[in-house]
Each structure stands twice: as structure tokens, then as C-alpha cells.
Amino acid sequence: MRPLIGVTTSSRSGWRIFPLVAFNLWLAGGRGVRWVAGKPSDVSGVNGIIIGGGDDISPDLYGGKLIASSRLDAERDAMERRLVEEAMEQGKPVLGICRGSQMLNVALGGRLDQDAYGTYSASQRYWTILPRKTIEIVPATRLAAHAGTEPMKVNALHSQAVTTTGQGLRVAARDTGGMIQAIERTEDPFALGVQWHPEHLFYARRQRAIFHALVNAARASARAEAQLPKVDIGAPQTP
């Protein structure tokens, strides 16, 4: 079975990114459906979700300050926050990519650093889809179980980062300057947020492992859901 994964994208650039994410999902044994703000997006109709990259998240959602240079999408913010909340309620796994990692954190009550490289001046500042930034994975995390604990080279297309983790989340990776680069839930349902873009690094085994982790969790969720007893609320009840 190829689990169905809902993938959120920007309404502007998603047409370019979604095929790449869908390709990674297919390699991992899943299949994707694209979701954009203003169109139907139903968590109950999929086995897992990916919150994709894109514009900054509105600071209104976590008590930050509006920066004049920020490019915001309030409609997408609302959709993705709802999707994360519903996925947690329904036990569906979530993978957050870049902006998506930040949204996962914000939806669960966390905060963001709007000037992450200003705070972490020792962090390597790159703006590239090539794997140039070095990150260090925290041992004994879910990310470590799937991708190992050796230092990892990743790409970077962000200026903000997680600063305070949301409820049930922990730090899974930092860069060499201390900036948070991955977060994850400590309990089921599976939820992992990575600050980089693994979809561009499909040639790397450890990056493919991230999509495999999501697809495997989605498959397990689908099997568990299929085993739930069906209740006909219209049928007469036996005393």
C-alpha cells in the first residue's frame, strides 16, 4: 500500500516544488496530493501530511514582532496550523520542511527567532539548495534512529528558526553555531520538523530516510485506523 500524504505548498511557487516532494514520497513508497490555501484539505482523507516550505509565518501566531521585509501568507498560516492540530488529534504523522518545521513548532505552542543568524552569529550562513551547512544530530532521537548521528551536510534557505520548542517537542539537531535545525515529537503520532530541504537532496541516502520515516509512520497509522471497529450510530443499541 502506498500511503497518501497531503503536501502543503505556496500558491505561487508550489507548482515547482510539489513534483519534487511527490518524487521523494514515491521513492519512499508513498504518494502525494498537493494542498494550497483556499482549496479543500482534509486530514481525515490522507494517511499523513507534509507542511512544506515558503514564506515566513506571521508573528501574530507566536507573539513576535512584524518585520517590514517579511512576506506573509495569512490564509496559508491558518490552513497549516489547522492541519497540524487535526493531524495530532487524529494520530496522523507530520513532516515539516523549513517553514513547515517552524509551523509545526508554532502550532504546538512554540516560538521562533525572527533574526536567527543575528542571534547565532557563529552559525554558517548559506542560501543554497546545495548541501553546505553542517548540522549535528542529537543522539537517541527519532531523527538519529533514521538518519544516524554522524555530522550531516544540509542546504539552507531560511532566516528564521525555532527558539522555544512547542508542547511535546524536543530538539533533534543543531548547526555548529547552536541554531536549532530539527525538532521532533517525543511520543506518537510521529512528527518531525527539519529546517533544511531534503526534497532537493534525494540522491543522499540519509535525506531519503526522512521521507521513509514519514511514509512508514503513515502506513502504520493507516493500518491502525483500518483495524478500528466500525460503529453504525444509526443502528439500534443492544441493552
Buried b or exposed e, range 3-17, using 16+ CB within 10 angstroms? bbbbbbbbeeebeeb
**C-alpha cell, 10:** 505556496
**C-alpha cell, 160:** 528564521
For the chain, the C-alpha Rg in angstroms (whole number) is 18
**C-alpha cell, 151:** 555530522
In the annotation, is 75 catalytic? no
Largest CA-CA distance found in the chain, in angstroms, rounded: 68
In the annotation, is 200 catalytic? no
Determine which one of 80, 98, 146, 184 is catalytic: 98
Of 135, 107, 127, the closest CA to residue 191 belongs to: 107
Determine which one of 80, 184, 199, 200 is catalytic: 199
Q: CA-CA distances (angstroms) from residue 169 to 1, 38, 183, 209?
A: 29, 29, 6, 20
Determine which one of 158, 197, 200, 212 is catalytic: 197
Of 51, 216, 212, 100, the closest CA to residue 147 belongs to: 212
The Cα 203–Cα 208 span in angstroms is 8
In the annotation, is 197 catalytic? yes
Active site members: 98, 197, 199
